Amino acid sequence: SSAVLEAIENVIQDVLKSLAQKKAPVLTLANRSDWRNIEFKDSVGLQMIPHCTTKQIRSDSPRSAPKFALMLKILSVIYKMVQSNTYATKRDIYYSDTLLFGSQSVVDNIINDISCMLKIPRRSLHILSTAKGFVAGNLSYTEEDGTEVNCTCGATVFTVPSNVQGIKNLISHAKFMLIVEKDATFQRLLDDDFCNKLSPCIMITGRGIPDLNTRLLVRKLWDSFQIPIFTLMDADPHGVEIMCIYKYGSVSMSFEAHHLTVPSIKWLGLLPSDLERLNIRKDVLIPFTKQDQNKLASIQKRPYIACQPMWKKELEIMAASKLKAEIQVLTSLSSDYLSRVYLPNKLQFGGWL
């Protein structure tokens, strides 16, 4: 915490120095959403290059002055919280002055910018985000406040903890971990008692694009148990994108890649080649939209696809067919096909990439 306080004090000292010299204060931060500042490393995923281009938030420019003021405001909130050892969610910060901030996304974006500028992970800034992910299966742990969580009891679902760093005493006999894209599929597998039927496993869903806590938990479980991690996504560009976020990280959070990515994650399904192999009827598939085409084209150009020849092939199949499928498409074969046939076969015979 002293490092956080010192980092904030340095920023404020620079502002005061500029004012003393009658110059307009400026905040400088890395351009974190620019692909040119990102390098791909097999062992880490997408990470920021050491000397990347920066942008300035100026206090004397009408365009950036409001953001400059908001960044100082949130820095003061963080400083007080670290000093008093209290925590707040991003939502709490937004609701402390909704008129000033205008929207939740403004707060979220500034917090990421501050984290990047200070080179300090967000949870060390005492800011928690409300977790939206779920976890179930063969896992128990103790939360920071001493609450004992046992996910092993049947079809119980637990929300991913909001302070993943604080959890301890992790125990699991799981043979693998399954990351499920959507809540509906996750619930369906729970109803079918999938976590216990095949062999004990841990299931996690970020319920779409994963939030930071879900990604931190996946990484923590990987560090703790070193078991295989598989992903179950829709066979569409959006599903592939979500899987890549878990595996390689995202451009906007590349400055924190070391805590968030698990490059050993495997693509279990739904593979575009599965649709042909299982003779899925064309009438239950969904035609691509222009947006899907653009998203797929952008994914195909990403640096990590080049080192994944099998993925490349799957994306080419998807691009050629211009059709996408949700995991639910497997119910056209039988209502419990996913948990009774598809997943057991895949896991038994190594049907992942």
**What 3-state class would DSSP assign to 269?**
strand
Which candidate, 239, 230, 306, places its Cα nearest to that of 275?
239
30 close to 48: Cβ distance less than 8 angstroms: yes
Q: Which amino acid is at 255?
A: F
105 close to 67: Cβ distance less than 8 angstroms: no
Q: How far, in Å, CA of 229 to CA of 264, rounded?
A: 7
**What 3-state class would DSSP assign to 185?**
helix
Pairing of strands 45-48, 38-41: antiparallel
**What 3-state class would DSSP assign to 317?**
helix
With left for phi above 0 and alpha for psi between -120 and 50, is residue 324 left, alpha or beta? beta
189 close to 134: Cβ distance less than 8 angstroms: no
The token duo for 12 is 């404020």
Which candidate, 335, 344, 333, 198, places its Cα nearest to that of 277?
333
Element (H, E) at 178: strand 176-180
The token duo for 333 is 């074969």
30 close to 100: Cβ distance less than 8 angstroms: no
246 is known as an active-site residue: no
Of the residues 95, 248, 304, 337, only one is catalytic, namely: 95
273 close to 280: Cβ distance less than 8 angstroms: no
Q: How far, in Å, CA of 219 to CA of 188, rounded?
A: 25
Chain center to CA of 128: 15
185 close to 327: Cβ distance less than 8 angstroms: yes
By annotation, the residues acting in catalysis are 95
